[in-house]
Amino acid sequence: MAAEDIAELQRAKYARWSIIIVFLSLVLVAAIIICLSIGVVSIPFDQVISILLGGGSERDRHIILNLRLPRVLLGVVVGASLAVAGATMQGLFRNPMASPSVIGISAGAAFGASLALVLGVSWVSGAFAIPAMAFLFAFITLFLVYAVSRDRRGYVPVETLLLAGIAIGALFNALVSALQYFAGDKLSGVVFWLMGGLNNATWDQILISIPAVILGCSIIMTLSRDLNAIMVGEEQAGNLGINVNQVRMVLLLAASLVTAIAVSVAGTIGFVGLIIPHVLRILVGPDHRVLLPASIIGGALFMVATDTLARTIISPAELPVGIITSIMGAPFFIYLLMSRKKSMGW
């Protein structure tokens, strides 16, 4: 094939990718406006747009700007974080069933938050005690997993990393259960947080979360070509001059960062990092140069939609969004298992 033909094919591919990303972005913007208008008090779309531009009545402005908009934007941050972390994990482990919880990070963050709820934390004031403890223990978990997995040469085999993550995640899950047993009158708070939800969203959480999520996503996007090479095979990636061990460590740190942020502000919300990357891989293909940004937008869209469903399905009461995502995710996970069994001839 001539060089001109290859260049033309590349341009066509990039154009297709751009169209997909722009389309998903427009759908997300439309979904945000629609979800802002839905609630116990229904506000028309044109009024929502007017409020976002500085107009509207005092009552409607309070509802949109102080109650619904922080929640929707936190949903965007959490959904994007979990989805891009899931896409990264699936690429690193070359397994479509991998997710942010696969190396125990979610379990570690859950333990940190539960500890803050049960014992109280005096060294961090106010509402930031729970996110701070969740964030701290997410990175303690990653350190432990890496310390257990690393051999004498400093190399970290994927299989050992997975097994260490499962073991340490199980340990932290057991510790969370122990905390629940001794929680006393604080049990309901622990259980509700573990279900995952965005009902306590604040502007402070958003302002703190966004820079860290942008940093993590930027690092992951920068290494998208290396992630493509690792997916083909670690030996082939090494032959291309890629330091596989170093790239894997950086990607895991970045994925852990965005996962820790999501868990620290919203609790343990399952299956987002599993469902979204897999669905978008079917739609846009396995190339992480487009799969990662598509996952970011798709995860944000999914979380905004499911949280709106969670807060309206039994209105005026509401469900934790983690219940909705688990109800959707569990059958999807079973479908993946059945498809994998069929493809492998089991």
Query: Over 70: is that where the pLDDT of 343 sits?
Result: no
Average pLDDT over residues 50-66: 90
Work out the mean pLDDT of the chain and round it to a whole number.
85
Residues of the chain above pLDDT 70, percent: 92
Number of domains in the chain: 1
Range of the domain at 32: 3-344
Residue 62: its pLDDT value, please? Answer: 92
How much is the average pLDDT of 13-41?
A: 89
List the structure tokens of 302.
Answer: 């999914």
pLDDT tens, residue by residue, 242-267: 888 889 889 988 998 898 889 888 88
What distance in Å separates the CA atoms of residue 199 and residue 202, rounded to the nearest whole number?
A: 9
Higher pLDDT, 155 or 284: 284
Check pLDDT > 70 for residue 311.
yes
Percent of the chain with pLDDT over 90: 32
| pTM of the entire predicted model | 0.89
pLDDT at 345 over 60: no
CATH of the domain at 178: 1.10.3470.10
CA atoms of 194 and 330, how far apart (whole Å):
17
